Structure 1
């Protein structure tokens, strides 16, 4: 049997794009499976909203939906910082301690030192930024592995938050070791955590702004694309001319800054400085960032998926609370959600590699 040689395209003829490897062999079942991997978490989130709205009419109200967003605002902001650190193939374990020490320093600035709300906010943001810089220098200059460096600073700054107040919480009217307080939590400061603009809580507005900023930074800016390139292949990024060390430090500075911002908002929302208040935020932020891997089949750190992951956990916990589920089951539920999201995400990644 003779084979005819492929003919050249006629002038002006547009050839169809080449098929992806394995595209012709994909069955309808595999396409359905890929769609589930890609949209499964979003579908599940929508289904949960419907179920909770039907069983609890008070769930699907503007007040409750804003309450959910308010409850996850700080977690999502901190998780966005974790996402940036993960984008360079790192991992910031110190974000919970950063939240704690930021809360305590912000509260001390207001109550102990009477510095006023503006300086208190600046001190909180600078604190988070400096901690991020310390983490970055330990990792890049001292060459300490990411997880070990941030694990060490986690303990250092958790202890530091206790040293600031000798292990005591800070509230308006309380002085340091018997001394009279020089200030208090002012209305201008607490408005950042308890106020609203046209009915929308301020922390929710801050979350929206931060989310858009992080997405645009990672996707649209040269530095953001280089961060992701470093996370994908550090050596290839270096050979392409990227300043890998500076980019990794930048990622941790951003993570620390966002953790500091979360601490400022948390102090403003609670109106006090509680010791170790940020301890739970590490697990919640990491959970949101990792659950985000399963959103739209990303299989990598992404800001949109992180926020969806935080909202997903918030919806589940809010709905369970309305159904009178015991409070002590929350960590168990968060763990199940995290494991399930990771199974979906990495199963999809494995199937894609196998198809190639």
Structure 2
């Protein structure tokens, strides 16, 4: 194995290890249970959304609406429980239904209306950003708020629902692993197995690598592409549920960075172990990388406006490892 091959396969993992070592030395308290909890919590929601993006990348698409789907699901959960005074099960069902409907609409626009995926999902993003604010006239949802019609929202978040975002399991160190992280791990394993070891998943990769060849082979290409966007919508809704459960309110500004962080995690995943393709394992590592990076910068008191720049640099480096070096090695 050449030096180039080693760099392609293990370079990103070496970068991750070096970053952890740097923050451990430079940021006081970085290596602590409290810091780990913050990282895990930030990784969980970003990772869930990134896994949904991965499903669309596999079929050669892209979903820019995931952040707005997650925020809409969060607002819907709050509205159902606080305003409509329904239970947690109803709120979860409504959120998942939103993800399915948005995924179907995105898939229909892309597959049957032939709207480019970036434009279709960008339009959906703006539509949802506006839609989620209409019922409350742009205000966040919390118990005791006054609604536009003058009534007072007296409902509360169900304790069972809040446990999804706040409960922690004992794991070696007491109360270290949040429920949301367990959800991420379960979903990551499921989507990894689905994409790598099922015929449906392998056909999705075939559609993404050569749609025309898959179509000539008799594969229902349109159905696979629509299902990819439905999966993305469902995962985004689950992320919104976890976010609502963590905050205990419907905060319209809380999902501002979800899209960028999730996309970064999914694209960074291309560089993990030299995969050079969308994959669930790489996405999970990418989400962990983003979470560690942001936590380390925060603990070092780095200005908030520099964080996106640093994430951009890391993403560019990861993509260079993935595409530029791999292509030069094939010449």
Report if TM-score (shorter chain) is over 0.5: yes
Q: Distance in 2 between matches of 1:310 and 1:293?
A: 12
Instruction: Report the counterpart of residue 273 of structure 1 in structure 2.
Output: 250
What's the TM-score once normalised by structure 2's chain length? 0.95
Count of aligned pairs = 325
Give the drift of 1:133: 0.9
Instruction: Report the counterpart of residue 215 of structure 1 in structure 2.
Output: 192
Instruction: Report the counterpart of residue 235 of structure 1 in structure 2.
Output: 212
- When the two chains are superposed, the root-mean-square deviation of aligned CA atoms in Å is 1.4
1:181 aligns with 2:153: yes
Q: Is the 8 A contact 1:110 1:117 kept in 2?
A: yes
Q: Which moved more, 1:319-328 or 1:161-170?
A: 319-328
In structure 1, stretches of 5+ residues that fail to align are: 1-27
Runs of 4+ with >3 A deviation: none
- Give the counterpart of 1:344 among 305, 317, 321: 321
Instruction: Report the counterpart of residue 57 of structure 2 in structure 1.
Output: 86
Q: Distance in 2 between matches of 1:331 and 1:197?
A: 32
1:191 aligns with 2:163: yes
Q: Distance in 2 between matches of 1:124 and 1:175?
A: 23
What secondary structure, in the 3-state scheme, does the structure 2 residue paired with 1:279 have?
A: coil
Give the drift of 1:57: 5.3
Instruction: Report the counterpart of residue 285 of structure 1 in structure 2.
Output: 262
Q: Distance in 2 between matches of 1:202 and 1:211?
A: 14
Alignment of 1:1-356 (within 5 A): 31-56=2-27, 58-177=29-148, 178-198=150-170, 199=175, 200-354=177-331
Q: Distance in 1 between matches of 2:92 and 2:266?
A: 26
What secondary structure, in the 3-state scheme, does the structure 2 residue paired with 1:197 have?
A: strand
Q: Is the 8 A contact 1:104 1:170 kept in 2?
A: yes
Q: Distance in 2 between matches of 1:195 and 1:165?
A: 29
Specify which structure has the bigger relative contact order, considering alpha-carbon pairs within 8 angstroms and separated by 6 or more residues: 2
Select the structure of larger CA radius of gyration: 1
